[in-house]
Every structure is written in structure tokens, then in C-alpha cells.
Structure 1
């Protein structure tokens, strides 16, 4: 079925793009790409593993301050941001953000990467250092064009997006700010894919406890937590989930004891799980089924020996709510139209785990798109980024931001 962009969105887009000031900003972004690249190379060498983003947050905040934003700060959650005030003084704001953290431990980046025919090889060069550079590029374009928006624009680098961070920076920022009406989340490079739905995710550990003892001497006298964990995993493996909405699960880690205790009944065993669904109801149902498997496994292992009781507790690492917005939401339509006009074929990503999750789950319009260029081998030490036509990313984001924030006296926000 062909995707249709409404007449209202098309007219707003044509109006905004046709403005001399907007064109001035577009041309500036292309001419300014070398500065954007320099920002990217500056920041990629400031390593920022999840939960250790302080140094990069400060470096990014310094760049925001140098570009004249108001109220530049690194907040208590580790987010670095500043505000470009709207002329309308509405008290409302849109957010343009990329995440500060990478998946790599400190010491992985050994130096500033050099160009190899426009291609750069460095861990984190695309995910999400390119996103941070794109945020700064868009800010410079607004400054150069002199456009006065109706609503405020917050330019931000967020903490704790990756892995165990669970989009924590974005979640905490939204909890502290109830005036956000829309978000552009920049992640990676590709600008043809629109992530507009939020896949829910839970990541947690289950610890099984018992008395423990000698594998020979205590046999028959105590229940075995490792056996209880194994029973639970076997039960979990038989859980059926729907193909649509897509729902997945995996026991990703199983640990008990050590080599020194190979002749012991362990006092504790741990399994770790990740589960995801495009539907919060299905995610909750799946979690309930997993809990039932755990309870049954503990009861069965306890009954098997009748000597002591296997207990358990759960450590939750990540709990991200699923959310959705219509494929024809104004923000999605506008992004689609912009990509199409750039000569690309838009791809609607029907699920995903990005910093767009928290706003979408809260009912705030949001999309996640790339910052420009091409990339590959992301989340590996062989990560690369190709700078060819990379300026098109910030150009697209700049246009979308103008449509979302509204231009004072010219066009209203599409949100």
C-alpha cells in the first residue's frame, strides 16, 4: 500500500523549505560539513562508556555553550544540553538529541582516526558520535540563518542509551521536563529509515538460593539452586509468543559456582534474560509467564528433596515501556516527505529500541533517524563511517526541526 503524505504536511513543507532563511541554513550546512566532521573527530576520542559519560558530556556542553545556547548544563542525570529560545515564549519545546555513550570500555579508542578516501574507522565513530556532530551542525545552521522559531529547541547529548543504560538519560530528562512536545532522536548514520514505534524491553537477572554443600556429602539433604535454575530455563524455553506483534525472549546468561567448587552443590545460581515486544500488553503477559516458570521450578526442586526451600529474587536492569504512534502521525509524514525529497526511498521501521522509546511511550511525537553518511560494523571495534554526502543528515533534521518548532509569524508547528 502506497504511503500518502497529507496535503497539510506537503504545504507546510513547501512553505518552510521555500523560505530564504531556511535555504540559507541548508546551504550553510553543506558548506559547514568540515566543521561538523571536526566535531565528530573531537568527540570520538573522548571515550564515554555507558555510566562513564562525564568527560564527553562536559566536552559536548562546552561546544553547546560556545554556540550561544542558554542554560547550558550537564544535569544530575548526566545529560548535556542547552536551550535556543523560541520567539513565541510558549513554554513548550522540541528536543534534538543524540546519545553520549558508546558500548566500548575506556582504552578502546587509541587515537584520532584518519580519512581513508572519506571513510573513518574507529569504535563509536557512527554510533553515536555522528549523531552528536549532527546536533551541533543543526544548531550552527539555526544561528547562521537567524530563524526565530515559535517554540524553544533543546539541543542535547543524553547519557545511558546503550545496553544496561536502558535509555536512562532520556527517560530521566522527560521525567524532569513536562513541556516537551516532540523529539528528534539521532542515532547512527542512515537517513532513509524512520523509527517511529517503540519496542518495549525488560532485562533482568533471577537469583536462585539454597543452602549448598558438598556434592557427595550433602546429596539428598539439600535442594540444588542450579537445578532449580535449569528447571526454570527448560520451562521458559517452551513459552509460545505471538509473531505479531513481534515478541521475543532469550535466556542470555547462566551462571553458578566456579572451578574451585566443581565438587559442590552451589548455594546460588543466576540466569539473565532479555525480552522484547512491540506491544506492552504482550510484554507483560510474557513476563508473567516467565515468573510462573520460575515459581514452579523452585517449588519442584524443593519438593524433589523435601529438605529445604529454594528461594529467588529478581534484579531488574532495564525496563523500557513499549509504545506506538500512527504511521500517519504528522511527525512521521513530515520525515517521510523530507527523505523522499532528498531523493531516497523512505523505510518505515515498525519497531526498535532507541531513544525515541521514552517519548513515544509517553505519547510524545518522536522519530529516530540517522545523522548522515553511511556506516557499518557498528558495536564492534571495526566500526566504520563513510562521510560521502553526510551533510544531508543535518539538512533533513534542520528542516524537520523547523516544521516541528514552527517559524514565528510564518508557519505553525505540525505537532
Structure 2
């Protein structure tokens, strides 16, 4: 998911001596340690890094063509395999030491480091929100490219690819292994399945994680916005609205469940860490003269606090059971109503403190590039490693975009090469340079 809406909040910079303080929308000012500012300045002066910076500018025509090619390779939810194979071929051509697809079709491209004592992941996601059959042909109006998925997150994929090309062309050797990843299942009901697969017990060892999602060069997501999503279905026998009158009515139970839940959730979410809830989709019934045999809803709940997320989840479960009991008590004939509660989304929440070196380095790079770092919360592939306490950030890929998740999504190459320069600096600072 893109970061831009999240990062739009006003961020206030402070200056004390040589340290810059960055304030997130609901946090105290955070100092950028001068040692990380010095580290980034020293790193950026290296001749090979300077050469890579120039290469990103020279690569702009090819990066643009890669963006068009990947965008026009449809990647619907749960059907990312065709794009995955194309992206794997691009990674091989760019010079990765080894490239493979795992069992869920994540693309993994390993670039071995000299020390190999740790592994840093650089990742963007392969999937889009658009269903199979969507017209993904790229159209150009002036300098702007339009197509579903062109920014979220196809641009991220091309930025990650360009960084690999820059490293290879100038033989920049890292101390740590770098694992370049094109991940499946970031959007919607994909439920982060690609990154969750990376962190299975038998998955690769990962010490730091850099996700690339969204545009610009100032945003830094270091807090994971967790979510619980459910599809809840009340089921009964159904029947004629007159002839079967008195049987359980699933709609009655659904209405009660929504009422009881929203009444308690409203009180619960008025204090503490921001926590949200939405009964987003409802359905069921066949005819105006028929008691429905099922009634269902889909519910979304979000918070960056695991305790608050679990708390509002309990309110939902209690409301559903209360509604079920009361509807069954009202019946005059026939079998009891039943309910099926299916969790369709579980994104973990958590935070990486701004004092952690990776976050500090991302902040120092933004400051080095002349922008104010903007710390924020987001729902991205970073959620999973954040929840596990692994140093993690999500940063943008440069340029300017908008209309994410719409058919009119667009991206403008407004000094897009700065995005790759930023990613390279954060990566090299975290992975170490030999």
C-alpha cells in the first residue's frame, strides 16, 4: 500500500546545534544522531557511490521502459506469477549472484557480501489491487504516465532493480548479504502472505528490512499499522416470508451484531492510541418475500497498538455471540441460527524506535538530501518484520504519484533518480561497504 496519504500530516523540524529533530504527528521530537549524519556524508563522498548516483540518472530511459513493461504485465491478487517470472529475469540480467522463486512466487535475488555476517532485505511488492482483466496499458499525457498499479508498487520494483544495477556496474561490495525481494500478496486479502512466508521458521535469516513503497524521498514508516479483518456469516434455514414466519432471520442477527459492536467500539476508540473500525461490506438475501438463509458482513479494525487491536477484536466477537443468542431466543419454529466467523486478514502491528540505527540512517539520508524526514505509521510489508522486532523501515521510490488503487493511477518522473540515490545510501549504510 502507498505511504503518501499517511505521510501528508504536518511534520515540524527543530534544530539544536548540529542535530536535527524530527517530530512525527503524535510523537515527541526525535534527534538525528550526528554520528549517522557523518556516516552518510562520508559514504556519499565515495567515488563509487558518486558514480552510481550518476548511473541512476543515465539509467532513466531504461528505468522508464522497465516501469512500463512491468506495469503492463498484469499482477492481480493471488496471480502474480507471470510478473514474478519477468522480474526474476530482470534481476538475473542485472547481475544478482542467484535468483529464484519460492513456493508462493516471491522473487528472491541474492547479492553476496564480503563478510556475510548478516542479511539486509531490500523489497518492493509485485501485486496490485486490480482484478484479472483490468486494462493495464500505460498511457502518457505530457510527462505523466497513467496506468493501474504504475505507482503502487511497480515503481518500487523498478527502483529496487535500478539499485542492483548501480551496485553491479560500479562493483560496490557490501559487507552484509543483500537479498533483493519482489514480494507477493501485499495488498488487500493477500494479507502480507509473501513477507509472512519469508519469515517462516525455515526462511532466510534476515537482520534488517528495507521496504520500498510509495513515492517521494522524505517519508519513513517505522511503525506498523496492524489490522484484523473478518467475514462473519449468520446462517439459517430460510423460507417464505409468510409461510415460514417465526424461523430465525439472519438479517436480524446481523443488524443486532452491528449495533452492539459499534456502540461498544465507539466508546473503546475514544481514548488512547488511534484505533479504527468499519463494517465495510454487507450482503445476503434472495427476495423481498423470502426470509434469508444467510446474512454476512466484512469488518476491518486497525491500530498500531497490539493491545488495542486485540481489545476491539474481543468487542466484535462478543457482539456477534450476543446477537446470535438473542435471535435464537426470538424464534418460534425451526432450527437455531448459526454463525461462521472467518478471519480474512491479520496484519501484525508494532514499532521500531526512532533511535534504532536503521531509522536514524534513513532520517540522516533524508536530511542529507535536503528534505525533512517524516516519521509515520503505515500498513505495508514492513508490518511483519516490525512486529518481530527486526530493524525495518518503509521508504519511497522517488518521483511523484497519485490515484493509488484507482484506474487513473499516475506517476511523474520528477527527479525520480533521487529515489534510487536515497535507497542506495540507506542500504549501504545498513549493509556496510567494503
Bin for the TM-score computed over the shorter chain = over 0.9
Q: Tell me the CA shift for residue 110 of structure 1.
A: 4.9
| 2:198–2:204 CA contact under 8 A, matched in 1 | no
Q: Aligned residue for 1:79?
A: 106
Cα-to-partner distance string for 1:46-98 (whole Å, 9 max, x where unaligned): 010110101000000000011121231111111012100001132x2111111
Q: Tell me the CA shift for residue 243 of structure 1.
A: 4.6
Q: Aligned residue for 2:128?
A: 102
Cα-to-partner distance string for 1:32-52 (whole Å, 9 max, x where unaligned): 222211111110100101101
Residues 181-200 of structure 1 mapped to structure 2, 5 A cutoff: 181-200=207-226
In the alignment, does 2:283 pair up with 1:255?
yes
Q: Aligned residue for 1:411?
A: none
CA distance in 1: counterparts of 2:388 and 2:319, whole angstroms:
31
State the TM-score, normalized to the length of structure 1: 0.94
**Unaligned ranges ≥5, structure 1:** 409-415
Q: Aligned residue for 2:81?
A: 54
Q: Aligned residue for 2:17?
A: none
Q: Tell me the CA shift for residue 242 of structure 1.
A: 4.0
| 1:41–1:113 CA contact under 8 A, matched in 2 | no
Residues 15-414 of structure 1 mapped to structure 2, 5 A cutoff: 15-90=42-117, 92-114=118-140, 116-175=141-200, 176-220=202-246, 222-238=247-263, 239=265, 240=267, 241-258=269-286, 261-305=287-331, 307=333, 308-349=335-376, 351-408=377-434
CA distance in 1: counterparts of 2:101 and 2:122, whole angstroms:
16
Pair 1:211–1:112, CA change in 2 (3 A) = closer
Q: Tell me the CA shift for residue 247 of structure 1.
A: 0.4
**Larger displacement relative to structure 2 (210-219 or 386-395):** 210-219
Q: Tell me the CA shift for residue 191 of structure 1.
A: 1.9
| 2:116–2:175 CA contact under 8 A, matched in 1 | yes
CA distance in 2: counterparts of 1:117 and 1:329, whole angstroms:
42
CA distance in 2: counterparts of 1:138 and 1:110, whole angstroms:
25
State the TM-score, normalized to the length of structure 2: 0.90
CA distance in 1: counterparts of 2:57 and 2:317, whole angstroms:
54
Cα-to-partner distance string for 1:232-261 (whole Å, 9 max, x where unaligned): 011112122145311001111111112xx3
Q: Tell me the CA shift for residue 164 of structure 1.
A: 0.6
Q: Tell me the CA shift for residue 403 of structure 1.
A: 0.6
| 2:95–2:165 CA contact under 8 A, matched in 1 | no
Local SS of the residue matching 2:227: strand
Structure 1 moving runs of 4+ over 3 Å? none
Local SS of the residue matching 2:174: coil
The alignment's C-alpha RMSD in Å is: 1.4
How many residues are matched?
A: 402
Cα-to-partner distance string for 1:3-39 (whole Å, 9 max, x where unaligned): 3211321232122122222222122112222221111
Local SS of the residue matching 2:351: coil
Q: Tell me the CA shift for residue 106 of structure 1.
A: 3.0
CA distance in 2: counterparts of 1:46 and 1:304, whole angstroms:
54
Q: Aligned residue for 2:7?
A: none
